[in-house]
Amino acid sequence: MSAAKPASTRARTERSAAPRLRKGVGTSNLHARAPRVRAARDTPLDVTLAPVLAADRELAQGRRTKLDHQRVERAYAGWARIYDRIFGPVFQDSRERAIRNLGALPGQRILEVGVGTGLLLPLYPADCRVVGIDLSEAMLAKARERVRKLGLKNLELHAMDAGQMTFPDSSFDIVMAAYVVTAVPEYKKVIREMVRVCRPGGRIIMLNHLTSSNPVLAAVERAISPLCTHIGFRTDLSLSNVLDGAPLRLERHEKVRPLRMWHLVECRNAKLAVA
């Protein structure tokens, strides 16, 4: 029979076997997080993303040649349920950077193309008038809920195709398009519309992934672009592709997080004023 362990030894053993909490995290924090973890597991990702993946499979297999509005709406209805969890924290730094350098003057009108669930909306200056558009009603429902909860009063939201906007020419001083240009089937059409609704001398700001200037990385990005379309964006567009043929004068271009693989691009609208 082995000798009984001293009390001090037993106490050390029990303490080492107990789960360790990170500094500053108490049991109340763990209980508060539990419902959030369970909620995140309620809907498996393969079920939530089913409409998105089904739409992409049809496109890849040639059963349709373009993303019609009804199919895009169905796809983004799936994304709307998980968009904030996946893309919210990851891209928050770049969103804040885009708004930090916005330089909007009081009373100016700002258009956000592809407003999505409204993650940018709380960041805009309160003394500007902000209009957000998106093709997906499901995404807009999330944005409207955010507006209601935060009590935002200086904005309006509309369901609208970014490639065929209903606004009059030169309606806005600033046009913001975050993670849009590489996520639409006809990006040239969207850029033409952004130029049209932005006043001459106004600014168009785009936040997107663009191909690297490094030829090796650029080759990898082109190679994986067909795979990336399954999660809603392409990786084979360069800045020259995006700006080619548009009356836009590049004023600022910087790489931003995550991984400095995304680009913040600010252009001046150089279209001619109509007399």
pLDDT 10s digits, 23-79: 333 333 323 333 332 333 344 444 444 444 454 454 444 444 344 456 556 666 777
More confident residue, 133 or 79: 133
Q: Give residue 182's pLDDT band: very low, low, confident or very high (50, 70, 90).
A: confident
- Percentage of the chain exceeding pLDDT 70: 63
274 or 229: whose pLDDT is higher?
Answer: 274
For residue 173, the SS3 value is strand
Write down the H helix ranges in 43-151. 45-48, 50-60, 69-80, 83-87, 92-100, 137-150
Q: Percentage of the chain surpassing pLDDT 90?
A: 47
Distance CA 243, CA 54 (A): 32
Residues 143-160, mean pLDDT to the nearest whole number: 96
pLDDT at 99 over 70: yes
Banded model confidence at residue 14, pLDDT cuts 50, 70, 90: very low
Average pLDDT rounded to a whole number, residues 196-202: 98
Spatial contact of 50 and 58, defined as CB atoms under 8 Å apart: no
Q: What is the pLDDT of residues 212-238, one digit of tens each?
A: 666 656 565 555 445 545 545 566 788
In the chain, beta strands by DSSP E: 109-113, 129-134, 155-159, 172-178, 198-209, 248-256, 262-269
Residue 174 pLDDT greater than 70, yes or no: yes
Instruction: Say how far apart CA 53 and CA 264 lie, in whole Å.
Output: 29
**Residue pLDDT, tens place only, 107-125:** 999 999 999 999 999 999 9
**Spatial distance between the Cα atoms of 7 and 73, rounded to a whole number of angstroms:** 66
Report yes or no: 187 and 261 within 8 Å, Cβ to Cβ. no
Confidence (pTM): 0.72
**Hey, what domains does the chain have and what are their CATH numbers?**
91-269 (3.40.50.150)
